[in-house]
């Protein structure tokens, strides 16, 4: 069965650079979520989209922005990268918002040097 | 604010034993969902089991079952006949019905020894 696809799987950037992560949800899933998991930490909710509109916002820095496109894929843009942005970034999707059953991608590991 | 607490940072058992992971949560809401997610070394978050708060019957998925105590706000995971492949980080998570934010606990690192 098709799963959530994230790209790139690994990304290395310098401080103050910009990074873009992409997420392709499971076909027919209309809700996308972004989570950030620091080393040894639990995942922290960043932002979610339902039908291409932002539906909820968590602890997402102002330097980050995200959107969901007409084909339901989503992109997380991160600017002015800081060392503390190094983390695993998960995208998840669901068919029914707030049913709670999220399907996660394998994550994109961002390392900021 | 909703919080999820996992009081066991690490656990270790022998293969084929039964192990129970603890989770408590705090909310004033009445309608919500609870989950256990597994994160193996491959890093992917995999849903293990799901429980609707309005259901009194405890959820079961093969070797995995939960003990849901709504009044106590407790949601423990029992793994029976543990296998080496069960070695992973286990996260308890919670979402309020109608909300978008899934709140995770701190995780329990479970090691199954041969």
Q: Flag whether pLDDT at A80 surpasses 90.
A: yes
**Backbone region of residue A108 per phi and psi (left: phi > 0; alpha: psi in -120 to 50; beta: other values):** beta
| Mean confidence (pLDDT) of chain B | 93
pLDDT digits (tens, 9 = 90+) for B55-92: 889 999 999 999 999 999 999 999 999 999 999 999 99
pLDDT recorded at residue A99: 66
Q: Flag whether pLDDT at A97 surpasses 70.
A: no
pLDDT recorded at residue A98: 58
Q: Flag whether pLDDT at A2 surpasses 80.
A: no
Q: Residue B44: which of A99, A102, A106 has the nearest Cβ? A: A106
Interface of B with A (CB under 8 A): 32-33, 35, 37, 42-47, 50, 91, 95-107
Q: Residue B97: which of A45, A92, A98 has the nearest Cβ? A: A98
Long-range contacts of residues B42-45, Cβ cutoff 8 Å, at least 24 apart: B42/A106, B43/A88, B43/A106, B43/A107, B43/A109, B44/A104, B44/A105, B44/A106, B44/A107, B45/A43, B45/A90, B45/A92, B45/A104, B45/B91
Range scoring the smallest mean pLDDT among B8-17, B71-80, B98-107: B98-107
Note whether A58 contacts B: Cβ–Cβ < 8 A: yes
Q: What percent of chain A has pLDDT over 70?
A: 95
Q: Residue A100: which of B35, B43, B104 has the nearest Cβ? A: B35
Q: Cis check for the bond before B109: say yes or no (omega within 30 of 0).
A: no
């Amino acid at each position: 069965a098709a799963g959530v696809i994230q790209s790139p799987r690994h990304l290395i950037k310098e401080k103050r650079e910009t990074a873009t992560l992409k997420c392709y949800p499971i076909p027919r899933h209309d809700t996308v979520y972004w989570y950030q998991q620091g080393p040894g930490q639990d995942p922290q909710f960043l932002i979610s989209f339902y039908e291409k509109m932002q539906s909820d916002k968590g602890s997402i820095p102002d330097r980050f922005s995200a959107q969901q496109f007409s084909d339901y894929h989503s992109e997380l843009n991160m600017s002015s990268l800081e060392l503390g942005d190094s983390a695993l970034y998960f995208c998840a999707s669901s068919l029914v918002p707030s049913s709670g059953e999220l399907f996660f991608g394998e994550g994109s590991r961002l390392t900021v040097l | 604010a909703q919080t999820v607490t996992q009081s066991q940072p690490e656990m270790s058992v022998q293969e084929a034993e039964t192990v129970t992971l603890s989770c408590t949560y705090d909310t004033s809401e009445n309608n919500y969902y609870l989950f256990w997610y597994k994160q193996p070394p491959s890093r992917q978050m995999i849903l293990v089991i799901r429980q609707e708060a309005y259901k009194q019957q405890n959820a079961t998925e093969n070797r995995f079952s939960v003990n849901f105590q709504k009044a106590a706000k407790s949601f423990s995971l029992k793994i029976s006949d543990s296998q080496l492949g069960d070695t992973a980080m286990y996260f308890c998570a919670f979402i309020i019905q109608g909300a978008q934010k899934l709140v995770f606990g701190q995780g329990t690192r479970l090691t199954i020894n041969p």
